[in-house]
Amino acid sequence: MGSVNAEEVNVYSARKEALIKPLLDKFAAETGIEVNLVTGTADALISRLNSEGKYSPADILITTDVGRLVRAKEQDLTQAVDSSVLAEAIPATLRDDDGHWFSLTMRARPIMYAPERVDVANLSSMEALTDADWKGRICIRSSSNIYNQSMVAAMLQQKGHAETLDWAKKFVKNFARPPKGGDRDQIKAVVSGQCDIAIANTYYLAGMLDSADTAEQKIASQVNVFWPNQGDRGAHINVSGAAVTKSAPNRGNAVKLLEYMVRKEAQAWYAETNHEYPVLDGVEWSETLTQFGTFKAEDIPLHRVGELNAEAVKIMDKAGWK
């Protein structure tokens, strides 16, 4: 006799229910494995896993940003998975060297600008946004936002401490206002004229363009995407990903679910619904993402971005990035 809970898997997800449940329902229908879903904020779910310890019912943690995936590993909340399916589907730079976490989608964080006030010929790289021309023209989230922390950590990995600190100090001086709000708020600030440039993740802009709210669609349509650093290190990317928890009571089913999520159909659904870039080669992007154009992405081991998070935060603090 199998154990009572042999045909279930318990998922802690920082992805909102609407952005993950249809995929989990398909997996359940196909495999007969019942999926129990708990959603919450990314940091709260990591705290919950910590407090539950070895008694946690969770089998899988799905979360956003490599910084959090690395943090979960560093806090001993995850375990290694050796899967040829995952290794073949996901490029090596997008998964943990020890098999503790795996990327499910990629997201990009380019420059967004008001075309009537910004000559695209004047845009080139993130580094060039420190030029005096951009003084009082840039909107971005606060330094407490992990997407920004990862962006700075990625620069650290590529440019070193001194150059990254120098960049951050000059970049902050060009802010149009003290950082506030989320990525959508930065996009709205560009359209309302508070700034001419925003740094934001593409899926936020895509979500606004595809929104049922026509006012939000109209705002988003007034902003263009520019891919920085195409002549050198590439545009900054990050991921959403998943890990099998250290005390997973249904480890086998957890691995089956992870493998399912990198299948072509699952990746295509994710790409279309969430407007994120698939990690699996040969899967079409959503029509909205396709409109933003193709781009050269950073090619660095993403685990370094997570490991450099604390140093990135210190740099942002020194630079006066509130």
Assess whether 100 and 116 both reside in one domain: no
CATH number for the domain spanning 19: value is 3.40.190.10
Tell me the one-letter amino acid at 2: G
**For residue 146, is it within any domain?**
yes
Q: Could you tell me where the DSSP H helices lie in the chain?
A: 21-31, 42-52, 66-74, 84-89, 146-159, 161-173, 183-191, 202-209, 214-220, 251-261, 264-274, 287-291, 302-307, 309-318
| 84-108: burial string, b at 16+ Cβ within 10 Å, e else | eebeebbeebbbbeebbbbbbbbbb
Instruction: Indicate if 134 and 185 belong to the same structural domain.
Output: yes
Pairing outcome for strands 102-108 and 224-226 = unpaired
Total domains present in the chain: 2
- Within-domain flag for 230: yes
Q: Is the residue at 92 inside a domain?
A: yes
- Indicate if 188 and 310 belong to the same structural domain: yes
pLDDT of residue 273: 87
**Does residue 293 sit within a domain?**
no
Residue found under tokens 């997407």: 147
Alpha-carbon gap, residue 44 to 149, rounded angstroms: 18
Judgement on whether residues 89 and 117 belong to the same structural domain of the protein: no
Tell me, yes or no, whether 38 lies in a domain.
Answer: yes
Same domain, 137 and 202: yes
Q: Which domain holds residue 141?
A: 108-235+301-318
> Residues 87, 51: one domain?
yes
The one-digit pLDDT tens for each residue of the chain (322 residues) are 334 545 999 999 998 888 899 999 999 999 999 999 999 999 999 999 999 999 999 999 999 899 999 999 999 999 999 999 999 999 999 999 999 999 999 999 999 999 999 999 999 999 999 999 999 999 999 999 999 999 999 999 999 999 999 999 999 999 999 999 999 999 999 999 999 999 999 999 999 999 999 999 999 999 999 999 999 999 999 999 999 999 999 999 999 999 999 999 999 998 888 899 999 999 999 999 999 999 999 999 999 999 999 999 999 999 999 9
- Do 156 and 181 lie in one domain? The reply is yes
Same domain, 144 and 229: yes
0.85 exceeded by pTM: yes
Residue with tokens 């150059």: 163
- In a domain? residue 3: no
DSSP track, 57-111: --SEEEEESHHHHHHHHHTT-B-----HHHHHHS-GGGB-TTSS-EEEEEEE--E
Shared-domain flag, residues 127 and 195: yes
